[in-house]
Amino acid sequence: MTVTRTSLLFQLRTGANDATWREFVAVYQPLIRQTARQRGVPASDIDDIVQDVLVQVLRSISSFRYQRTRGRFRNWLRRITINKIHDARRRRSDTNFLEDPGEIPDNTGEDHWEREFRSRLVRCALWAVQRESEVRTWTCFAEHALKRRTAADVARELSLSENAVYVNCSRVLSRVRGFCARYGEDLAHGPCAVSE
């Protein structure tokens, strides 16, 4: 399965533990919020939409089956999000929502959703890996790979060899890529490419 990691979906199906649910929410909640905002949902109603979507995921995850021809898990989640926005719009008799969804610029399409997902996933991966890394190991990666400083400068500053900087960067990058691969993303290619 080259989508949201099989183990995460399995854990959600069989009763997620707190860590699994927090990981799921950290990756997907910002996408749901942003889509609601961009679709004209008033700020006061966004939390309700997010909650409705997450409750629907919990209710429906047991029946979700990956079918390559029908798309990825996140596409299914996007469809739930849009449906919940439309449901909320229909339930409301006032004009808090924009009247005509056609008036909303379509920056919430699948391409936008995919770009935002990838961007958020990389941020979550970096945050998760940083929390689990030793300070010196992370500093090598942050300074050399993210800030694009030379390995020689970083090595001198940290009293390490250049090779140690490269090894530490490689270790961190491998863990970041592994985190993203669990969600079906290859960080060596595409708009969120991360390289050594």
**Domain spans in the chain, listed from the N-terminal domain onward:** 1-108, 111-196
pLDDT of residue 24: 80
What integer is the mean pLDDT of 161-185? 87
CA dist., res. 110 & res. 94, Å (int) = 29
What integer is the mean pLDDT of 178-192? 61
In this predicted model, what pLDDT tens digit does every residue of 151-166 receive, in sequence order? 999 999 999 999 999 9
Higher-confidence position of 184 and 27: 27
In this predicted model, what pLDDT tens digit does every residue of 90-145 receive, in sequence order? 777 544 555 444 444 444 556 777 777 788 888 888 988 999 999 999 999 999 99
pLDDT beyond 90 at 1:
no
pLDDT of residue 52: 92
Backbone angles phi, psi at 72, to 5 degrees: -85, 165
CATH topology of domain 1-108: Rna Polymerase Sigma Factor; Chain: A (1.10.1740)
pLDDT beyond 90 at 150:
yes
pLDDT band at 14 (very low <50, low <70, confident <90, very high): low
Q: Which helix (H) or strand (E) holds 36?
A: helix 18-38
For the chain, the average pLDDT equals: 77
CA dist., res. 37 & res. 39, Å (int) = 5
CA dist., res. 146 & res. 52, Å (int) = 37
pLDDT of residue 194: 46
Backbone angles phi, psi at 84, to 5 degrees: -65, -35
Q: Which of 15-24, 30-39, 72-81 has the lowest average pLDDT?
A: 15-24
CATH number of 111-196: 1.10.10
